[in-house]
Structure 1
Amino acid sequence: MKGYIKMIRDLVGHTPIILNVAAGAVLNDHGEILLNLRTDSHNWSLPGGYLEYGETYRQACLREMKEDSGLDVKIIRLLQTFDQGTAVYPNGDVAQAITQLFLVEPVSGQLLTKATDETLSLAYFPLDKLPPLFNQQTADMLTWLRENLKR
C-alpha cells in the first residue's frame, strides 16, 4: 500500500509514532560511505526510508536505495538493528525509527546527478570525516560501521 505513512500522518498529525526503516550501507574501494543530502533537513543520512505496508525490510532497502541513490543493489547481509532515538522533522512530525541497516553492493544503475523529492546530492565520505548528520541514529549507525565493519 503506497502512501501508508502519509495516510497515518493524515490521521494522527504530528503525534509521535514508531516507524520501521530500512537503510543501506554502500562502501567504495577507499572504505568511504555513501550518504545522501536530504531535501527535508539539508543534512546527510544513509540512503533508506520507511517500509510501506506489506513490505519487508529487505524489499524496502532495495526500493529506497534505488529511489535515494539511483543504484540497484544486492543485499550482502543485515548488519544491525537500531531502535534508539527520536527524529523531529522540519514539518513537526516526530518518530522513533526502528532501522535495519544492511550492507549492500551496487549491481547496476548510477548515482543520481539531479535532485529528487528526497535527495539533493550524493557523496562518499570517510567514516572519520562526516558531514552534518540528520539525527543521532544516523550518527550511531555510522559509528557502528566505523567500529565493526572491516573491508
Structure 2
Amino acid sequence: MKLIKFLAMMICAVSFAQSGVIKGRILDKQSELPLMGASVELLGSEIPKGVITDFDGYFTLTDVPIGRKAIRVSYLGYETSTIPDIEVSTGKDVDITVALTESIGSLDEIVLTSSTNKIRSLNKFSAVSARQFGIKEVGRYAGGRSDVARLAS
C-alpha cells in the first residue's frame, strides 16, 4: 500500500515538473545598453505567457513547457525580433541575449501651433512689467541693436 502511494506521488511530481525557465537580457544593438520595459512573449503556447524586462534589461520566463520554443521580443522604436528553436528542458535554465536594432521610420507631417498671448503675462503674480518679446521684436527696436539685454534694460 505504501509503495502504491509512493509511486502515485512520484508520478504527480514528475508530471508537474515538466517545465523549464528561459531567462536573458535585451540590449540595444548599437550602443549595447539594456532596454528597460521591452516585452518578451512566448510563442506557440496554449496559454499566452510574457514578461517585461527590468531596469537592467533582464527577464525571466518561468513555467515554460519543455521542448523547442520560440519567443518574440518587441520594444517601442525598435524592430521586433523572433528567436526560434530555443531548446527548453527541465533542470537547466536557458540563458539568451537579444540585441534589437532601432527601426527607422518617417513621419508624414508635424504641425506646431502656439496659443500664448504675448501681451498678457504668463506669470499672474508679476505686478509691473512682464511682457514677452521674441526675436522679431528685438530686431525692430532701434535701441536694441539685436541685443536682448539692451532691449530689456
Give the TM-score band, short-chain normalised: under 0.3
The structure having more radius of gyration, on CA atoms, is 2
Higher relative contact order (CA 8 A, sep 6+): 1
Q: Structure 2 length normalisation: TM-score?
A: 0.25
User: TM-score, normalising length from structure 1?
Assistant: 0.25
Structure (1 or 2) with the greater helix fraction: 1
User: Relative to total residues, which structure has the larger strand share, 1 or 2?
Assistant: 1
